[in-house]
Amino acid sequence: MPGRTSVAAVSQGPVGISAVDVIIAKRDGGRLADEQIDWVVAAYTRGDVADEQMAALAMAILLNGMDAAETSRWTQAMIDSGEVLALGDVGRPLVDKHSTGGVGDKITLPLAPLVAACGAAVPQLSGRGLGHTGGTLDKLESIPGWRASLTLDEIAAQLADVGAVICATTPTLAPADRKLYALRDVTGTVEAIPLIASSIMSKKIAEGTGGLVLDVKVGSGAFMKSRDRARELAETMVRLGTDHGLATTALLTDMSVPLGRAVGNALEVAESVEVLRGGGPADVVELTVALAREMLVLAGVEADPAAVLASGAAYPVWERMIAAQGGDPAAPLPVASHVETVVADRSGVVGLDALAIGTAAWRLGAGRARKEHPVQAAAGVLLLVDPGDPVEAGQPLLELHTDTPDAVPGARAALAGGVTVSADPTPRNPLVQETIR
């Protein structure tokens, strides 16, 4: 048609490279050349490769994989699509942590101020929740006044002053990932390990930190349900970090049951404050300390994070971190207008499945189905018992918190089969299952 440019015409690169040729090469199980990877990622970022073409390539990668060299080059191309943050000298070694996401996974909230209280600096660029997994920014935005978006100068100044920042990623950081992540979400290609690993690591490498600890979840409430898949992802990311000069360690941690007793935004903030004051659930404390130890090793800082956390010394750092971003750490957190209790239908030993609990919290309003959807600050599930606890018939097991009572039936349906009372306890998995360096 006159005046119309075909997709094929737009999707041409240097001599011998086109989007169609790149798709076909990977579709047929071939290895992509460095120049093909560089071109297709850059061209997609600037809009010269169409969404449907990148979707086809992502599916080919999901089905046929990429080898270590391809994945490393793809990650570098993602980094090169934007800027690398130059935080400068903040007076402390920089070290970061990333979690692949889970249910009740509020660990970043106590961890960042704890590591700062031990003497390192934590530039934690975080994200929002999607589906049954919670988002760190959503949790912190339940604190009155707190803001997620900071300039690079504000990030650097806060790191120098407080030692910890938890904020949204900057728009210039790996913009290729932002486009590709949204596309993978709607094309059934989220599970491709090379794309997961490059998505996470491109942002963390571009962040400019000196060390990175990965918390790779495994279990029903995790993205990776099997330990083998979780290990493959962890090993891929550790290798990518090493390839790009970033000291990286990964822990495989259990996500078959929720972390702690609070699942939701304000509920998890309140539990995190308990931990920072020297209390809180044992599993949240255990994982916070385990990750802090690994972060301090990478930062070259000698300190005992268990003792620092138990003393409450990390709590003042939390107060300063929240206040520096406009929040009021002393302000009351939002409370749900509607609370319903779920009780045991018999006597026995309670079992709690992470996916069921996370899905219930999502349906109550704590999570979102798409990135643009709002969340309720006060919604979520508060567990009144721990997995393996003996309970009596009629005993309260958990509370459903929401501002939309119509959501409760859907939440109760999500819990079916995921909250059980049986004669025999199910053995609980170790929280930290493996360390990969």
% residues pLDDT > 90 (the chain): 84
> Which residue among 96, 105, 138, 177 is the active-site one?
177
What is the per-residue pLDDT across 208-247, written as a single tens digit (0 to 9) for each?
899 999 999 999 999 899 999 999 999 999 999 999 999 9
Q: Are 100 and 226 in contact (CB under 8 A)?
A: no
% residues pLDDT > 70 (the chain): 95
What is the per-residue pLDDT across 281-316, written as a single tens digit (0 to 9) for each?
999 999 999 999 999 999 999 999 999 999 999 999
Annotated catalytic residue 347: no
Q: Going along 244-374, which residue ranges are E strands?
A: 247-254, 262-264, 338-343, 348-352
Q: Are 93 and 121 in contact (CB under 8 A)?
A: yes
Is the pLDDT score of 4 beyond 50?
A: no
> Which residue among 73, 92, 98, 231 is the active-site one?
98
> Which residue among 139, 184, 363, 401 is the active-site one?
184
What is the per-residue pLDDT across 320-358, written as a single tens digit (0 to 9) for each?
999 999 999 999 999 999 999 999 999 999 999 999 999
Dist CA 59 CA 25 (whole Å) = 13
pTM comes to 0.93
Task: Please report the pLDDT score of residue 85 as a whole number.
Answer: 87
Both structure tokens of 317? 């750092």
What is the per-residue pLDDT across 254-274, written as a single tens digit (0 to 9) for each?
999 999 999 999 999 999 999
Residue of 128 and 357 predicted with greater confidence: 357
Containing 223, the helix (H) or strand (E) segment is none
In the predicted model, what is the mean pLDDT of residues 165-172? 91
Residue 211: φ, ψ to 5°: -155, 155
Q: Are 284 and 271 in contact (CB under 8 A)?
A: yes
10 Å CB burial of residue 56 (0-12, 13-18, 19+) is buried
Dist CA 249 CA 210 (whole Å) = 12
Task: Please report the pLDDT score of residue 5 as a whole number.
Answer: 40
C-alpha distances (whole Å) from 15 to each of 11, 12, 35, 38, 48 are 12, 8, 11, 14, 15
Is the pLDDT score of 137 beyond 90?
A: yes
Annotated catalytic residue 177: yes
Q: Going along 131-269, which residue ranges are E strands?
A: 164-168, 211-218, 247-254, 262-264
Residue 17: φ, ψ to 5°: -125, 130
> Which residue among 97, 203, 217, 401 is the active-site one?
203
Task: Please report the pLDDT score of residue 276 as a whole number.
Answer: 98
Give me the sign of the Cα torsion angle 351, 355, 360, 361.
positive
Annotated catalytic residue 4: no
Task: Please report the pLDDT score of residue 2 as a whole number.
Answer: 40
Is the pLDDT score of 155 beyond 80?
A: yes
In the predicted model, what is the mean pLDDT of residues 401-429? 94
Confidence of residue 8 (pLDDT cuts 50, 70, 90): very low
Annotated catalytic residue 184: yes
In the predicted model, what is the mean pLDDT of the chain? 93
> Which residue among 18, 99, 126, 199 is the active-site one?
199
Q: Going along 160-318, which residue ranges are E strands?
A: 164-168, 211-218, 247-254, 262-264
In order of their start, the domains of the chain are 7-65 (1.20.970.10), 96-324 (3.40.1030.10), 338-422 (3.90.1170.30)
Task: Please report the pLDDT score of residue 426 as a whole number.
Answer: 81
Annotated catalytic residue 138: no
- The torsion of the CA quartet 388, 394, 399, 403, rounded to 10 degrees, works out to 160
Is the pLDDT score of 9 beyond 60?
A: no
What is the per-residue pLDDT across 171-210, written as a single tens digit (0 to 9) for each?
888 999 989 988 988 898 988 999 999 999 999 999 989 9
User: How do the residues of the chain divide into helix, strand and coil, expressed in percent and rounded to 5?
Assistant: 45, 15, 40
Lowest mean pLDDT among 126-130, 167-171, 177-181, 384-388: 126-130
Dist CA 336 CA 376 (whole Å) = 9
Task: Please report the pLDDT score of residue 14 as a whole number.
Answer: 64
